[in-house]
Amino acid sequence: MATPRFAWGIDIGNRALKAVKLVRDGDGVRVDDFEFIEHETILSQAGDNKEQLIQTALANFVQRHTTKGGVVSVGVSGQNSFARFVKLPPVEEKKIPEIVRFEAIQQIPFPLDDVEWSYQLFREDDNPEIEVGIFAMRRELVNQHIAYFTDFDLNVQNVQMNPLAVYNALQFDGRFNDGVAMVVDVGTDNTDLLIANNQSIWMRSIPIGGSNFTEALVKAFKINAVRAETEKRNAATSKYARQIFQHMRPVFADLVAEIQRSIGFYSSVHRDAKITKIYALGSTFKLPGLQKYLQQNLQLQVERIENFTAGAPTDPKLGATFGDNLLSVVGAYGLAVQAMGGAMVNSSLLPRAIQRERIWQDKTKWFGLAAALFVGGVTIAGARLFFEDLQFKNAEAQRQKNASILSQANTLSTSWNQVQTAGEPERVMNANLSTLVDGKSLWPQIISDLVNSIPQPPEPLAMAIKKADVEGIKKVPRGERKLIQINEILSQYDPAIAPKLADANYRATALPPMASDPATLLGSAGTTAIGGFGGMPVDPAAAAVAPDPTGKGRGFFLTLRITCPLDQAVEYIEKDLQAALKSVAPSEKRPNLRYAIKRVWILQRNPIKEDSLRMQKLSADYAAVLAAKTAAAGANAALTATPVPNEGGAPTRPPGYPPTFGGQPQPQPGVATPADESYNDRLTGESVLEDKEFEMVLGVELDPTPWVKPAADPNAPQQTAATPAQ
C-alpha cells in the first residue's frame, strides 16, 4: 500500500477527542496540525448520550480541519479489546500463519467469526524463539466505532488498540533504545501498563484512572463531580491543597500497588530483563507530586514525555495548546505514525472486507497508470535516460558538498559522545556515596523514641538511681518501684507490613520465634541490641530504603524484652508504656516523622523465675562477670608476687593466678559464689526472681501518612471523618 502524503491519528477518549496530523518532511515526518476537543460529559457516564457526544466532537473536528487526500488511523480502548502474547514452537516460516490461527482459536474467548483479529510477530536479536501478539475485538464493537468516522467520509486505514499505539509512538521516538522501560498511561477510567523494549511488549489494563481521584474528593468533601474535578485540576494552587492530596493519597497507593504487582509478575517471567525507567503519560500526571510519589515508592526513575521527535505545530498558539496536552496525545501520535508507515507494530483490527476494498482501490489506480505508461513508454524511454544522465552530472558539486557536511557531522557526533561519557565513573561514585546516608538517621530516632516512651520513675527513686545510691534505692521496697528496664531489642523487616497491622485478627505470634539458645540472645541485662530473629540479622539501614514489592506499606516488627520489679507491673505496663508507645506517630510537633508505631502486642508477662531461658542467661552473665573479676585479681597479684621456679627452672604462674583454657582466664574451683547469687541485682544485691519480664512486639510502619493540620477556614470543604493513618 502506498505511503500517504499525510495522516491523522484520532483517539476518542472518555474525556476528549485527541487528534494529531503528520506530514512528510524529507525522509521523516513532522507534526503539522493538532486538535483537542473535550466532551461535555465523560463518555462512560453519559449513558444514551454517548453517541451524540462522539458525533458532536467529530463534526467539530471535520469542520476545523482538512482530511481529504489523507488517511485516518483510529484507536480503540484497551479495555474493550483483547491481547495475548504467546511463544511459538519452532516451525517453518511458511507455517507460522497456520500456527498463529490455531493459537488464536485457543486464546480468544469468542468464535473467530465473531471478532476482528490480527497478530504481530516479535523477534529478539540472537534469540531463535518467536513471540506472537494476538489482538482481537468483537466485530460489532469495531463496526460501531468505525461507523462514527465513515459517517463523516473519513478514510479509515487502521484500527489499533490504544496501548499499542502508545508503544508505536515511544518506539518511533527511540524511547526504548536504552533497554526495557515501563509505560504508565493513566486514562479517565483505567490505566494502561506496558513493559517493553524494541523487540517485545507486555501489557495490562487496570481499573484505576483519573476519575478515581475525582471520586475520592466527591466522597471526602461531599461535593458534586464537576466541582471535585475542578478542585483536582487546580490542586497545585488551591489553598486546600494539603487536604485535597490527603484524600487522594489512597488512590495513589492503590495505583502504586497495581504497578508493583505488574512489575513483580513481569520480573518472575522475564528474569533477565531489568526495567530502566518509567514513562508517565496521561493528564493525571499534571497533578503535582504524583510523579515524585511513584519515583519514591517504585525506586525507579519516572519521566514525563515532554516532546516528540516529529516536533510540534509551527503555529505558536497551536503549539502552546499542543504542549499543554502532550501527555494525552501520545496515542493519537502513535496512530498517525502507523498510518505513515513508521510503526513497529503494524497489526490492525480494521475489518477484512474494508481492507480488501482499500487494496482493490489502490490497485485500480495502478492499472490505469500502467496502461498509460505502456502506450507512451517506447516514446519517452530514450529521452528519460538522457535527462537522468544530465541531472546526475550536474549534481556532482552538490554531492561533494553533502559528503563534506556528513563528514563534519560524524566528527561532531564522535566528539559529543566523548562529552556525554566524560565523568561517568565520578557520577557513579557520587551516586553510590549518596546511598550510604539513606536511612542512617532512622534507627537512632526509633531507639530514642522507645527510650523516651518509658515512664520515668518518681523523682526520689530517679535521683537515687542516677547517683547509684543503693540505700536510697532500697528505701522504696522493690515491689513498689515503678522502674522499667529494656534488656533486648530485636528487629525483623517486613516489606508488606501494612495489611498485618490493619488486620484486627492478626497476632504477632505469627512471627518467627527468637533464638532459643541462651548463648545467642543479644546483649546482657541492662543493654540494648539490634539484630534479627533466629540468628538472621537485619541491616536496618539497608532495610529502611528497600523497595516495597507489594505496595502495601513496609516496616518492622520490633521485639522488646523488658523487666519491671513492680508488683502491679502488668497494669503499669499496659496502662502507661503501651499507651506511650502507640503515640509514636506523625503529629503536629513532628508532622513528617518517617515511621509510626501502629500496633503493640504483649506476648509474655511472667516472673523471671518461671523463664528457664532467662534464668540460664542470668547465670551465664554472672559466670562471665565472676571470671572477669577473678582474672583481674590474678593480674594484680602477678604484678607484686615473686615467681617461684619449678623443677625445670621455668617460672610458674604467680600464686593465686587462675589457670587458663584457650587463652582465657577461668575461675578457680571452689571460688564461685553460691548459684542463687546469679539472680541478684548487680547494683542492690536484691533477688530479681520475682521481677516480671515482658515480651512486647511493636508493629512499626515506615512512611506513614504525614500529619495534616485541620482546616480552620469555615468555608473549607468539610470532611465526614478523619482520614486513618496509612
Residues 310, 172: Cα–Cα separation, whole Å = 10
261 in the same domain as 163: no
Task: Please list, in sequence order, all residues whose beta carbon lies within 8 angstroms of the beta carbon of residue 305, skipping any fewer than 6 positions away.
Answer: 170, 279, 280, 281, 326, 327, 330
261 in the same domain as 115: no
pTM for this one? 0.53
Does pLDDT of 266 surpass 80? yes
Does pLDDT of 216 surpass 60? yes
Cell 479517565 locates to 188
Average pLDDT over residues 340-359: 82
The pLDDT score that the predictor gives to residue 193 is 94
Owning domain of residue 193: 176-304
Provide, rounded to the nearest whole percent, the portion of the chain with pLDDT above 70. 75
241 in the same domain as 156: no
164 in the same domain as 21: yes
**166 or 474: which carries more pLDDT confidence?**
166
Residues 279, 299: Cα–Cα separation, whole Å = 14
Contact predicate 166/331, CB 8 Å? yes
Average pLDDT, the chain: 78
Residue 252 is placed in which grid cell?
495513589
100 in the same domain as 240: no
Does pLDDT of 163 surpass 80? yes
Contact predicate 98/55, CB 8 Å? no
Asked whether residue 637 is domain-assigned, the answer is no
The pLDDT score that the predictor gives to residue 195 is 95
Count: domains in the chain:
4
Asked whether residue 78 is domain-assigned, the answer is yes
3-class DSSP string for 570-627 = HHHHHHHHHHHHHCCCCCCCCCCCCEEEEEEEEEEEEEHHHCHHHHHHHHHHHHHHHH
180 in the same domain as 170: no
Sheet holding 555-564, edge to edge: 485-494, 555-564, 692-702, 595-607
Average pLDDT over residues 397-416: 72
165 in the same domain as 35: yes
3-class DSSP string for 34-61 = EEEEECCCCHHHCHHHHHHHHHHHHHHH
Asked whether residue 468 is domain-assigned, the answer is yes
Cell 515506615 locates to 702
Task: Please list, in sequence order, all residues whose beta carbon lies within 8 angstroms of the beta carbon of residue 130, skipping any fewer than 6 positions away.
Answer: 87, 88, 96, 121, 122, 123
Burial label, 678 (beta-carbon count in 10 A; 0-12, 13-18, 19+): buried
The pLDDT score that the predictor gives to residue 420 is 58
Asked whether residue 259 is domain-assigned, the answer is yes
- 225: CATH: 3.30.420.40
CA atoms within 13 A on the CB side of 683: 14
**504 or 68: which carries more pLDDT confidence?**
68
Asked whether residue 726 is domain-assigned, the answer is no
Residues 472, 479: Cα–Cα separation, whole Å = 15
Residues 244, 219: Cα–Cα separation, whole Å = 12
What's the chain's Rg over C-alpha atoms? 38
Q: Alpha-carbon dihedral of residues 104, 105, 111, 117, nearest 10 degrees?
A: 10
DSSP string, 339-388: HTT--S-----S-HHHHHHHHHHHHHHHHHHHHHHHHHHHHHHHHHHHHH
Asked whether residue 211 is domain-assigned, the answer is yes
Residue 104 is placed in which grid cell?
488464536
Residues 293, 299: Cα–Cα separation, whole Å = 10
- 63: CATH: 3.30.420.380
The pLDDT score that the predictor gives to residue 552 is 55
**616 or 545: which carries more pLDDT confidence?**
616
Tell me: the pLDDT tens digits for 4-45? 889 999 999 999 999 999 999 988 999 999 999 999 988 988
Task: Please list, in sequence order, all residues whose beta carbon lies within 8 angstroms of the beta carbon of residue 595, skipping any fewer than 6 positions away.
Answer: 442, 445, 446, 555, 584, 700, 701, 702, 703, 704
Contact predicate 581/597, CB 8 Å? yes
Tell me: the pLDDT tens digits for 657-714? 344 333 334 444 433 344 567 788 878 888 888 888 888 889 998 888 878 777 655 5
163 in the same domain as 25: yes
Residues 11, 17: Cα–Cα separation, whole Å = 6
Does pLDDT of 117 surpass 50? yes
Does pLDDT of 415 surpass 70? no
Length of the chain: 726
Beta bridge pairs of residue 136: 82, 117
Residues 192, 197: Cα–Cα separation, whole Å = 16
Cell 449513558 locates to 47
Residues 297, 173: Cα–Cα separation, whole Å = 27
At 619, the pLDDT band (50, 70, 90 cuts) reads confident
The pLDDT score that the predictor gives to residue 366 is 47
Phi first, then psi: give them for residue 701, nearest 5 degrees. Answer: -100, 135
The pLDDT score that the predictor gives to residue 482 is 86
Q: How far is CA 669 from CA 630, 632, 654, 659, 664, in A?
A: 11, 17, 17, 10, 15
Most confident of the following: 161-165, 293-297, 519-523, 617-621? 161-165
162 in the same domain as 180: no
Average pLDDT over residues 290-296: 88
Does pLDDT of 234 surpass 90? no
3-class DSSP string for 312-349 = CCCCHHHHHHHHHCHHHCHHHHHHHHHHCCCCCCCCCC
Residue 575 is placed in which grid cell?
496502662
**CA 608, 610, 615 angle in degrees (round to 5)?**
55
Average pLDDT over residues 209-230: 89
215 in the same domain as 286: yes
Contact predicate 53/341, CB 8 Å? no
At 357, the pLDDT band (50, 70, 90 cuts) reads low
3-class DSSP string for 76-135 = ECCCCCEEEEEEECCCCHHHHHHHHHHHHHHHCCCCHHHEEEEEEEEECCCCCCEEEEEE
At 613, the pLDDT band (50, 70, 90 cuts) reads low
Tell me: the pLDDT tens digits for 569-604? 888 888 888 888 888 888 888 888 888 998 888 877
Asked whether residue 681 is domain-assigned, the answer is no
Question: Helices 210-221 and 241-269: crossing angle, nearest 10°?
Answer: 140
37 in the same domain as 186: no
Task: Please list, in sequence order, all residues whose beta carbon lies within 8 angstroms of the beta carbon of residue 349, skipping any fewer than 6 positions away.
Answer: 76, 81, 116, 117, 118, 135, 136, 137, 142, 159, 160, 161
Cell 534505692 locates to 473
Phi first, then psi: give them for residue 29, nearest 5 degrees. Answer: -135, 160
Question: Helices 241-269 and 290-298: crossing angle, nearest 10°?
Answer: 40
The pLDDT score that the predictor gives to residue 574 is 80
Asked whether residue 709 is domain-assigned, the answer is no
273 in the same domain as 168: no
**415 or 529: which carries more pLDDT confidence?**
415
The pLDDT score that the predictor gives to residue 672 is 35
Average pLDDT over residues 206-230: 89
At 1, the pLDDT band (50, 70, 90 cuts) reads low
Residues 80, 102: Cα–Cα separation, whole Å = 23
At 185, the pLDDT band (50, 70, 90 cuts) reads very high
Average pLDDT over residues 177-196: 93
Does pLDDT of 334 surpass 70? yes
End-to-end CA distance of the chain: 57
